[in-house]
Structure 1
């Protein structure tokens, strides 16, 4: 199962009562075509750590079994964004969902990748034959040495072709890997030279399953979808995100922000749509 998560924070033009909102998407089967989402209001404004992460992941695991018609829970979970306090919540959710027999086998295995999209790193081809029509490196370019961290596993991926201007690659940092090193430590798939290539190629492939285009996008799909989910949540709370502070009426009823309580029910999707990709 592949999971993406993002957190949106109040912008400078938002009301002082506006909360931070976390969004999570997760695949439900091997085809990576459906990514139902869940939203949660954070305990406070500009809080990056997701407070309800355990419950959010449990809801995605339940969908894996019911909507994906699986007889068991996933053995491997690839998670798109995390900070130190979040991993214990993920473990806690799995302890409550997985049978004892699976837990004795060490399931599920986690691989956790932080995706950075706001940076100033750019790449340029050194030969014209390696450039696309806009002068950028060809789509699918991966840089994982020389300029990357010496003691950590990180890589830059430019999966897309820029419509104009200079393409911005995504920066991926692997903070935990219990899947790829263990699975391919002795035998690599055909065409791969090392273990890092397997995850990096999988990340590139994820850029091609985005539902709004038939081409690759600049950010791997689960992270992209999670970002869209959070933007949709801002629309649900437009009274506090898009208007001056004084014009907000205390009608929203969570988190205590100012004199108003904003709860999860204020970003709840209708029951007929909550397990679909309505946000897309």
Structure 2
């Protein structure tokens, strides 16, 4: 089926969608994005993604081209037109297409921003087989730029990290800077010791995950202790469990880190329970 996508105010067949070769996201990675999950035809954590999108735009001195209500309507219309039951909606906003390539930003009054959205259908994503077996990860050096709190389209190194993991025969990579884990290639990273969850504190070093915020809130409500601090790969390897969070994987158990098996090598009960709680609560709050 040919998808309907959204490009600069128009709903178009994906085969007819076009963006200028002079768009600054294409030439300079000068754009931001968000991915919102869809479960049972409803949007998960939409408000959180909308707030983070606005922050990313403002941090890069970009305007906010659409109101939150307008964005919500576009998301819902794409879900409807593409019959998405379970899946994701990708949203990208760029600084737009100037007359020619230039390092200097174009005048925002003269160059409109580019707004693109499209859907990805992922039937049964809440019942992912990976959640039943757990993920294996390796550690790699974090070589990304310093403002990881801004969700930009600068995704080359995370992509390279996933390829390093694939070549190593594992599922993903955790990034390490100055001896401490920052996050995964496209997710936040955690380990559990006893009744305590440990994860990196918020700063410009990591993305301020929307799923992260919800999961930590649910963990505290479940009487778990949360420590937001730096931690090493070695600490995580000594944990009872580990997991990652993201909009597309929700809560995903990690069973091996750099060849070291955690626990009995199966997804741990606390990570699985957090996944269950997150999915239950998110479905209740979905819009």
The alignment's TM-score, normalised by the length of structure 1, stands at 0.26
Q: Which structure shows the bigger proportion of residues in strand conformation?
A: 2
